[in-house]
Structure 1
Amino acid sequence: MRTIKAVRAAMPLGLRIGAPVVVLVVLLAAWQFVASSGAVPTALLPGPGRVLARLVADLRTGALLHRTLATIWEAVLGCALATVVALPIGYLIAHLRSADAAFSPYLAASQAIPAVALAPLLVIWVGYGLTPIVLLCTLLVLFPLVLSTVLGLRTIDDEITEAAELDGASGPAMIVHIEAPMARAAILTGIRNGFTLSITGAVVGEFVMGGKGLGMIVSVESATADTTGLFATLIVLCALAVAIHAALTLVERLTDPYRASDGA
C-alpha cells in the first residue's frame, strides 16, 4: 500500500502545478461573474480587477510590504518560542505517563479558548505592543506542536529503540541519532501547520494589541468599510500562508535523510 508521500511523489509535476491554477481560474471567473452581474452591490463585492489594481497600488507605496514583514516577524517569534517550549513538553509526554497525565488535560482545555478571548487578557497582563502578540501566537501554536511531537515519538518502532539501547545509545545520543530523525517528519509538519496558525494569531493580536502589521490594516479598512482594500489585504494573507507552507514543505524535503536513497 502506497503512502500519501509516495502518491504525491508519483504525481506528475504538471498536474501538481496545473490543478491549483485551474481551481484559481475557476474561482476568479465565478467572482467576476457575480461581481459584474449586479446581484451584489460593488461596495460590498468589488470585482477582481478593482482588487488587483488596489493591491498593486498598495504594493507600490511600500506600506503593505512593511506591514507584511511586521506580521511575519511576529509570527516567526511566536512559532519559535512555541517550538522551544513544545518540544521538551512533547518529549516528556511521549515518554512519561505522569507527564501525560499532568499536561494533557490543560493542553486540551487550552484549545477551547478562542484567540479573540485571550487577546484582551494579554493586554491587561502585558500591555500593548509586540510582546502580547508574540505570546498569543505562541499559545496558538503550542498545542498542535506538542501533539505532533508526541505523535512522532510514539510512532517509532520499539524494536528500533531497543536495538539502539543494546548498542549503547541512551539519553542525548538516543535523541540525536534515533528519535529526532525518526520523529522529524511529524515535528516539521507540526511546525508548518503551526506557522500558519501563528500568522492568524499575529493578525488577531494586531486587532486588539496595537500591532503594526496586516491586522492593523484590516482593522482600519473594516472600520471605514473599505471592501476593496479588505479583499486586497486578504489576498496578501492568503498568498503569505501559501508561500510559508510551500517554503516549509521544501525545507522538509531537502532535510529528509532518506531523500537521496528514495531517489536512487
Structure 2
Amino acid sequence: MRRRQVSPGVLGASPWLFGALLLAGWFAVARWGGLPAYVLPSPDAVLARLVADLTNPTLWPYLAATVAEAVGGCVIGAAVALPLGIAIHRSRLLDAAVSPFLGATQAIPAIALAPLLVLWVGYGLGPVMWLCSLLVFFPILVSTVTGLKLVPASVVDAARLDGAGSLALLASIELPMALPNLLAGLRNGFTLSVTGAVMGEMIMGGRGLGQLLTAQRDALDTTGMFATIALLVALAMGLYGLIRAIELRSAVMADLTTPR
C-alpha cells in the first residue's frame, strides 16, 4: 500500500505542530491536573527558569564541559570506528573474526562500564569522554560498514579496470558514496554522546550539566531539573540537526555524481 503524498510545507510544519501539542498537554496537566509544582512545574515556569539560568554566567562552564565531553568522546569513537569499519569491509577474515565480539559488546550496559573506568582512569572529564566514545563506537562502525557495502560493485569494478589502486578507490569512490551512511552514524553518535556525558558525570563526577542535575535533584529543585533537561535536549537537537543538514547535502551530491 502506497503512502499518501504530503506537501513539503506540511512536512516542515509537522514537528512544530506536534511540539505545540505536547506543550499544550503539559500545560493542561500542570495547570489543572492537581499536581504540585515540585512534581510537575508548568512550561512557563520552566521557560522562565531556563532564561534566568542562561543569563547567569555560572551555567556556561557546566555547558562547556558537557559539550567538550560529548564532542571529544564522539571524535575518539569515530577515530577508532571509521578505520576499523574500512578494515572489516576490506577483509572477510577480519569481518568473520571481529564481528561476533563487536555485537556482544552491545550487551554490556554503559552504566556498568562507568565504575570500571573510574578504577582504570579515575574521575573527571577524561573518563567521561572515554565513556562517550564507547557509546558512539558501535553505531558509527555499523554505519561505516553498511555504507561501504552499499557502494555498487559495478562502480568499484569499473574504477579498478581504469587502474584505480586501493587507496584511490577508497578516497575517490567508496568513501564519497558511503558518506550519507557515515554521517548518519555520526548523527546518532553525537546524540548518544550527549547522553553518555550526562550519565558519566552523574556516576563518575565532573563539572558538566550532569553534575548540575545531581545538585538540583538533591535540592528537590524540579523546575531547575526541567530547565537543565530542556537545555540538554536543545544541545542534542542542535548537534543532530547540524549533521543532518550535512548528511542531506552529501546525499544530494552523491546522487548527482553517481553514474547512470
TM-score scaled by length of structure 1: 0.90
Structure 1: which 5+ runs fail to align?
none
* Residue 122 (structure 1) shift: 0.2
* Residue 64 (structure 1) shift: 2.5
CA contact (8 A) 1:133 1:205 kept: yes
Q: Once the two structures are superposed, what CA deviation does each residue of 1:195-224 show, in whole Å capped at 9, x if it has no partner?
A: 111111111111122211111111111122
SS in 1 for 2:18: helix
Counterpart CA distance in 1 for 2:44 and 2:237 is: 21
Indicate the residue corresponding to 2:154 in structure 1.
Answer: 159
Picking from 76, 83, 106, the partner of 1:88 is 83
Map 1:169-208 to 2 at 5 A: 169-208=164-203
Map 1:99-178 to 2 at 5 A: 99-178=94-173
Map 1:235-246 to 2 at 5 A: 235-246=230-241
Q: Once the two structures are superposed, what CA deviation does each residue of 1:181-205 show, in whole Å capped at 9, x if it has no partner?
A: 1111100110111011111111111
C-alpha change, 1:260 and 1:153, in structure 2 (3 Å) is: closer
Indicate the residue corresponding to 2:67 in structure 1.
Answer: 72
Picking from 212, 216, 220, the partner of 1:221 is 216
CA contact (8 A) 1:141 1:198 kept: yes
C-alpha change, 1:255 and 1:157, in structure 2 (3 Å) is: closer
Indicate the residue corresponding to 2:13 in structure 1.
Answer: 18
Q: RMSD over aligned Cα, in angstroms?
A: 2.1
Indicate the residue corresponding to 1:28 in structure 2.
Answer: 23
Structure 2: which 5+ runs fail to align?
none
Counterpart CA distance in 2 for 1:260 and 1:165 is: 21
Counterpart CA distance in 2 for 1:172 and 1:38 is: 63
* Residue 28 (structure 1) shift: 1.0
CA contact (8 A) 1:81 1:138 kept: yes
Counterpart CA distance in 1 for 2:67 and 2:10 is: 30
Amino acid at match of 1:133: V
Counterpart CA distance in 2 for 1:111 and 1:165 is: 36
* Residue 254 (structure 1) shift: 3.8
Amino acid at match of 2:10: L
CA contact (8 A) 1:253 1:259 kept: no
CA contact (8 A) 1:94 1:154 kept: yes
Amino acid at match of 1:213: G
Amino acid at match of 1:34: V
* Residue 116 (structure 1) shift: 1.2
Amino acid at match of 1:250: A
SS in 1 for 2:123: coil
252-261 or 84-93, which moves further after superposition?
A: 252-261
* Residue 260 (structure 1) shift: 9.2
* Residue 257 (structure 1) shift: 6.3
CA contact (8 A) 1:46 1:228 kept: yes
* Residue 63 (structure 1) shift: 2.5
TM-score scaled by length of structure 2: 0.92
Counterpart CA distance in 1 for 2:248 and 2:16 is: 23
CA contact (8 A) 2:179 2:250 kept: no
Counterpart CA distance in 1 for 2:57 and 2:136 is: 30
Counterpart CA distance in 1 for 2:145 and 2:33 is: 52
Counterpart CA distance in 2 for 1:114 and 1:260 is: 38
Runs of 4+ in structure 1 displaced over 6 angstroms? none
Amino acid at match of 1:206: E
* Residue 256 (structure 1) shift: 4.8
C-alpha change, 1:113 and 1:260, in structure 2 (3 Å) is: closer
Overall identity of the aligned pairs, in %: 48
CA contact (8 A) 2:74 2:189 kept: yes
